């Protein structure tokens, strides 16, 4: 017996994925040329699976800020802020985040995953009740497991079901804590925050919104779905990440509630994880300033998402429920999705393969994400490539998208 025998099902899945070409879980980029282009096995590919929504990974100001701080403060902090102290950049970034969201308090974590893990597991105690959307991210589920609260799932984006489930607890002690997301990362749909905020007010619950995929993307000022829905005053905690629109790594939580800073010693992922390197903090701060200075970034990524979504919808593909920078193509089964992904990579387009159990409803998905730096021509190239593979595999009819595909097929990746 081996200690790894328990993973035999995973071993078999990996073996299946490796047959007939590139394993989607083992892609190796030779280099990344820009927010929209990379190289795989010596071949240039367009990047449509990075969640780099504003394309700030190569922003000159962000890079320069990081380089300067790398030289000034070194490569890392080598410990948590509780043990090794807070650097000036950490405190400055927290003030910047609080001001950006119009909140009094902010707290920076080393990853977005840890932001959810730390906040939720610290807030939810034994007699409390966590109400989470059934399609919640893995970090939210893991945070719930770390808490000692009762965990109650409500149907995806169903505020009425949420209200019914809360009403069943009438008379029971403990806080009611609702957790939802701005944009859901698999299908790209947004949460009905106005309706959920109404439930929150009527039941006296607390509301946590994870804006990981909506920060910088939605809202007039890029503050996410809370801003777009006009419910910022109803949200007790906003959680987010620096690894999407801000192009770096790390996470955060902001709030107006008094006592928020107690979480610095109550949230174990904050207490016992090394703090972000000052160079990363500097790039995040520069990216956040860029969002504030250039609201057109959000408008461009939304327009690009609509161009990709409606182009694929017109071709006859089954997609997520609404256009957003996350555009998911539904596949009939896992094998079809894997084969489609491999053909698409050969066509020069990289996106994400998303398979059960990580997907809602056990769907097999091809998940793409656009960013503000994609040109119309690059999006049309991706649409054409997806349509060619779709026709080849018999998933769409050629007549549905004949003329646009013909035009887009004339496009090519930029010359060396």
Q: Taking the CB of residue 237, how many other CB atoms lie within 10 A of it?
A: 25
Separation CA 215–CA 229 (nearest Å)? 13
Predicted local distance difference test score (pLDDT) of residue 400: 52
Q: Is the pLDDT of residue 416 over 60?
A: no
Q: Mean pLDDT, to the nearest integer, of 59-67?
A: 98
Measured CA distances, 383 to 99, 116, 299, 354, 364 (Å): 39, 35, 21, 19, 19
Separation CA 54–CA 216 (nearest Å)? 7
Predicted local distance difference test score (pLDDT) of residue 18: 87
Closest CA to 220 of 59, 384, 344, 102: 102
High-pLDDT (> 70) share of the chain, % = 95
Q: Is the pLDDT of residue 199 over 70?
A: yes
Q: pLDDT tens across 296-349, in order? A: 999 999 999 999 999 999 999 999 999 999 999 999 999 999 999 999 999 999
Compute the C-alpha angle 124/130/135, nearest 5°. Answer: 130
Residue 414, token pair as written in the block:
């930029």
279 half-sphere exposure, CB direction, 13 A CA radius: 12
High-pLDDT (> 90) share of the chain, % = 91
Per the CB < 8 A criterion, the answer to whether 252 and 115 are in contact is yes
Q: Is the pLDDT of residue 83 over 90?
A: yes
Q: pLDDT tens across 164-180, in order? A: 999 999 999 999 999 99
Domains and their CATH numbers in the chain = 9-57+295-408 (3.90.1150.10), 58-293 (3.40.640.10)
Q: Is the pLDDT of residue 406 over 60?
A: no
In the predicted model, what is the mean pLDDT of the chain?
A: 94
Helix (H) or strand (E) run with residue 18 in it: helix 8-18
Q: Is the pLDDT of residue 227 over 70?
A: yes
């Amino acid at each position: 017996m081996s200690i790894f025998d328990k993973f035999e099902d995973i071993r078999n899945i990996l073996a299946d994925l490796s047959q007939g070409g590139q394993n989607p879980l083992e892609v190796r980029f030779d280099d990344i040329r820009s927010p929209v282009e990379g190289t795989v096995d010596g071949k240039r590919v367009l990047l449509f699976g990075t969640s780099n929504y504003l394309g700030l990974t190569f922003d000159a100001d962000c890079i320069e800020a990081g380089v300067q701080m790398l030289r000034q403060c070194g490569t890392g902090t080598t410990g948590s802020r509780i043990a090794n102290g807070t650097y000036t950049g950490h405190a400055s970034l927290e003030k910047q985040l609080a001001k950006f969201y119009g909140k009094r308090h902010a707290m920076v974590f080393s990853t977005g995953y840890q932001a959810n893990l730390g906040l939720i597991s610290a807030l939810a105690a034994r007699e409390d009740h966590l109400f989470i959307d059934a399609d919640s991210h893995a970090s939210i589920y893991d945070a719930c497991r770390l808490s000692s609260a009762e965990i109650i799932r409500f149907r995806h984006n169903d505020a009425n079901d949420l209200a019914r489930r809360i009403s069943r607890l009438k008379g029971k002690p403990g806080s009611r804590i609702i957790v939802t997301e701005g944009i859901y990362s698999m299908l790209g749909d947004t949460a009905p925050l106005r309706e959920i905020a109404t439930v929150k007010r009527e039941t006296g619950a607390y509301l946590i919104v994870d804006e990981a995929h909506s920060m910088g993307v939605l809202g007039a000022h890029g503050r996410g779905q809370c801003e777009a829905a006009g419910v910022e005053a109803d949200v007790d905690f906003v959680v987010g990440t620096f690894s999407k629109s801000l192009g770096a790594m790390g996470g955060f939580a902001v709030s107006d509630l008094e006592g928020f800073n107690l979480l610095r010693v109550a949230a174990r992922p904050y207490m016992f994880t090394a703090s972000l390197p000052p160079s990363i903090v500097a790039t995040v701060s520069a990216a956040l300033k860029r969002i504030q200075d250039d609201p057109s970034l959000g408008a461009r990524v939304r327009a690009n998402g609509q161009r990709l979504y409606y182009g694929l919808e017109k071709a006859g593909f089954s997609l997520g429920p609404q256009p957003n920078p996350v555009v998911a193509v539904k596949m009939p089964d896992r094998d079809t999705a894997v084969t489609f992904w491999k053909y698409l990579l050969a066509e020069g387009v990289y996106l994400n393969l998303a398979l059960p159990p990580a997907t809602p409803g056990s769907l097999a998905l091809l998940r793409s994400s656009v960013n503000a730096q994609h040109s119309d021509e690059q999006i049309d190239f991706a649409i054409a490539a997806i349509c060619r593979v779709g026709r080849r595999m018999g998933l769409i009819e050629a007549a549905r998208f004949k003329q646009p595909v013909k035009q887009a097929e004339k496009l090519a990746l930029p010359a060396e």
